[in-house]
Structure 1
Amino acid sequence: MKIIGLEEHFVTGEVIDAWLRLDPHWRDLALRPATQGEPARLLADLGASRFEAMDETGIDTQVLSLTTPGLQNLAPADAVALQSAVNDELAEAVRAHPDRYQGFAALATPQPDAAAEELVRAVTRLGLNGAMVFGRTRERHLDDPVFSPILEAAQELRAPLYLHPQSPPPEVRAAYYRTADELTTAALSTFGIGWHYDTGVQLLRLIIGGVFDRYPELQVVVGHWGEVVLFYLERIAKIPGLARLDRPLLDYFRTNLYLTPSGMFSRRYLGWAADIVGTDRLLFATDYPFEFAPAGGARAFLEQADLTATDREQFASGTWERLCAGIRRAPLADRTG
């Protein structure tokens, strides 16, 4: 059984330098693990250490992506300057190890037109399989019309966008997650719950804002079994604004969204997700190096999953390979010239 992980991160020194130059207000809490300790070492390595970890847990291929918050907190000029460099480095790693690596492009969303052009280049010229995006670009949400060029390009290319968590804004962290202990505050704001509430809200904004009505073929991948909202669909469906949408709420989950576990290897969550969206909407991910399961953990979870043999293989890699086979690799003349 071939296993492909979709949420597997890396970072470059140039990106870290750009993050460190930011005003503290725009620095994401992920800066610490990206620059300190074992996670920082693993993020920076695209060689032997990563291959060893993949083999140990049972992952055959990683879909590499720039770790949170990507380029989205940067000034537009800095983000644009870095996106091509990051994607060129990523594509080089994929070319060097095509059986072990694939890639999600990093996009300079502070400059949406340039980001859309880069998405086209990344997919049609570099061979990357869509892009990793985050819900906010500084104070703007992804459903803001200013980001339409990116969403339009993704739909035209049939290239999936992976909607990944980022730290809640400083004002939200101060109001809801601050405790007497700095480390506890950071944990509560991020992997404890803050990341997931924040990303769940961003996902709902895309739906309620009519993004999938305007771009009905757009495909978005969401981690952590749907970022909380999957477990509250009956309540969410009562939001008045949903009545103005073209389709019932659940239909968007079953036609425009894919879900991954992001290393949360829970049989209970797997059963719930499969029941709500269907097994054909499940993709695999380990969230390397943050929630990476050693000692055969990834392969064991899949082998022991309460799925048919066919569904298990589709979850492990088949559905992702089918999604990638539908990506349009020919250049789009109106965007690339």
Structure 2
Amino acid sequence: MVMAKARAVDGPHQSFRKADIQRRELDKHDVLLEIHYAGICHSDIHTAHGDWGEAHYPLVPGHEIAGIVKEVGSDVTKFQPGDRAGVGCMVESCGSCENCEAGEEQYCLKGNTPTYDGVDKYGEPTQGGYSTHIVVTEDFVLHIPENLPLDAAAPLLCAGITTFSPLNRWQAGPGKKVAVVGLGGLGHMAVKIAHAMGADVTVLSQTLNKKDDGLRFGASAYYATKDEDTFDTLAGQFDLIINTVSAKININDYLSLLRLDGTLVNVGAPAEPLDVHVFSLIPQRRSFAGSLIGGIRETQDMLDFCAKHEIMPEIEVISADDIDDAYERVQKSDVKYRFVIDTSTL
């Protein structure tokens, strides 16, 4: 067994504590990753706080993981010790259902195994990246390109793929008008990626406080949604809207901004239901969709795309002792734009 240092939480709204956790012995297709950095995702907070139902405690969150391969199993062919590698939101799937065979393991019909708060094929609870080491089957490990620093690469394993996938699926690109709701950890990546794809990008945020940042990231326009005139001004303008916020909003107001055959895709996951009126959809044949991260192949495509276009998240690297404070700041939107834990401080 590999012993790893970690930070764990024992119940909803409890503080993080130091912990020692066991990682399994390497099977023949396993990779042992020494974690250097782990991003803090809003999903970590929702899960740790029990917002989506009670988690399995003690819990070690973290599914934005970047580090160096230390050891590989006897039959591993995709990695070798010394490789720069990452792990995202899932560590297993059945591999045989139609969705897995199509490279959409996140939609595994038998259910994928999440990086934390899940149960692996050995019947053991999965624990995430707020730790020094993790063991994952090679099929769920990603190559991190050389020109992406490991600290900046970590958030790409969730924030990056969560926004890249719907932009890719709904073909954001030249001639397309894309709006991004919220300019947080997810939203700022959506702006950067959509701009690199060639789309005309608009940010929709509550206030204009981050306008300079939004324009710097690649947006051509920035509107405050607290301004009642915004929804009249932008009515029927967008081909695609990516909603990144994890709070309940009036989704019908945003649907009104879509043009004919436009789509609003939700990637933010508020705990409360969203109310959708059917007449927000019918008149312009609009669609309201959801999107969950991306498959392993698409995640690697995203990493390569970000490396090619030199797209990186804006990060603030913190000590493991600052996780509780970081959680509070994320909930207050007091971060620009992603906290990343330096796991050497564990």
User: Larger radius of gyration, structure 1 or 2?
Assistant: 2
The normalised TM-score by structure 2 is 0.29
Higher RCO, 1 vs 2 (CA within 8 Å, ≥6 residues apart): 1
The normalised TM-score by structure 1 is 0.30
